[in-house]
Amino acid sequence: MNRRLLRAEWTKFRSVPAWVRAGAAAALMILVFPVLGMGGAGGGESTQVPIGPDGVAVSDGYYFVHRPLSGDGRITVQVASLTSARAPQAGAVPWAKAGLIVTAGPDLGSRYAAVMVTGGHGVRMQHDYLHDRAGQPAAARWLRLTRSGDTITGEASADGATWSEIDTVRLPGLPATVRAGLFVACPPRVDGIGTAVDAATAEFGEPELSGGWPAETWTGDQIGAHTATFAGYPRGVTGGFAPAGDGFTVTGAGDLAPATRGDLPVGAAPSDLLYGTFPALIVIVVVATLMMTTEYRYQMIRTTLSAGTGRIRVLAAKAVVIAGVTFATTLAAAAVAVPLWTRLVRGLGIYVFPAPPGDLLRAEAGTAALLAVVAVLALAVGTILRRSATAVTAVVAVTVLPYFLALIPFMPPPMARWLTEVTPVAALAMQQTLIRYPQVDTIYTPANGYYPLPPWAGMAVLCGYTTLALAVAAVLLRRRDA
- Mean pLDDT, to the nearest integer, of 206-229? 93
Rounded Cα distance, 65 and 250, in Å: 8
Q: How confident is the model at residue 85 (pLDDT cuts 50, 70, 90)?
A: confident
Taking the CA atoms of 278, 279, 280 and 286 in sequence, report the sign of the dihedral they define.
Answer: positive
Q: Please determine, for residue 364, whether its predicted confidence score (pLDDT) is greater than 90.
A: yes
Q: How far, in Å, CA of 222 to CA of 61, rounded?
A: 7
pLDDT for residue 482? 55
Q: Which residues pair with 73 in a beta bridge?
A: 147, 211
Please determine, for residue 167, whether its predicted confidence score (pLDDT) is greater than 60.
yes
82, 151 in Cβ contact below 8 A?
A: no
For the stretch 95-122, pLDDT in tens is 999 999 999 999 999 999 999 999 999 9
Higher per-residue confidence, 303 vs 59: 59
Question: Looking at the predicted structure, is the pLDDT value of residue 42 above 60?
Answer: no
Pick the range with the lowest mean pLDDT from 20-24, 317-321, 403-407: 403-407
Distance in angstroms (rounded) separating the CA atoms of residues 356 and 432: 12
Q: What are phi and psi of 314, to 5 degrees?
A: -60, -45
Helices 388-399 and 277-297 pack at an angle, to 10 degrees, of 150
Cβ neighbours for 173, distance < 8 A, ≥ 6 positions apart: 104, 111, 150
Q: What was the pLDDT predicted at 28?
A: 93
Q: Which pLDDT score is estimated for 193?
A: 76
Q: How far is the C-alpha of 134 from the C-alpha of 156, rounded, in Å?
A: 11
- In this predicted structure, the answer to whether residue 87 has a pLDDT above a threshold of 80 is no
Residues comprising the chain, all counted: 482
pLDDT of 309 reads: 59
d(Cα 451, Cα 434) in Å, to the nearest integer?
Answer: 9
Fold adopted by 58-258: Jelly Rolls (2.60.120)
* Averaged pLDDT for residues 88-98: 81
Work out the burial of residue 438: count CB atoms within 10 Å of its CB; fewer than 13 is exposed, 13-18 middle, 19 or more buried. Answer: exposed
Of 37, 35, 50, nearest in space to 263 by CA: 50
Mean per-residue pLDDT for 343-368?
92
pLDDT value of position 266: 79
- pLDDT of 45: 41
Q: What is the 3-state secondary structure (H, E, C) of 294-311?
A: HHHHCCCHHHHHCCCCCH
| Distance from the Cα of residue 79 to its chain's centroid | 33
pLDDT (tens digit, 9 = 90+) per residue, 385-444?
Answer: 989 999 999 999 999 899 888 888 778 888 888 999 999 999 999 999 999 999 999 988
pLDDT at position 215 over 60: yes
Q: What is the mean pLDDT of residues 236-251?
A: 93
Going from N- to C-terminal start, the domains of the chain cover: 3-39+267-479, 58-258
Number of H helices, E strands in the chain: 10, 19
CB atoms inside a 10 Å sphere around CB 215: 5
What span, in angstroms and rounded, lies between the C-alpha atoms of 449 and 406? 11
d(CA 133, CA 141): 16
Q: Are 253 and 14 in contact (CB under 8 A)?
A: no
Burial letters for 261-282: b for 16+ Cβ neighbours within 10 Å, e otherwise? bbbbebbbbbbbbbbbbbbbbb
Q: Which of 36-45, 134-143, 382-391 has the lowest mean pLDDT?
A: 36-45
Task: Please give the radius of gyration of the chain, using alpha carbons only, rounded to the nearest integer.
Answer: 29
Q: Indicate the residue type of 79.
A: V
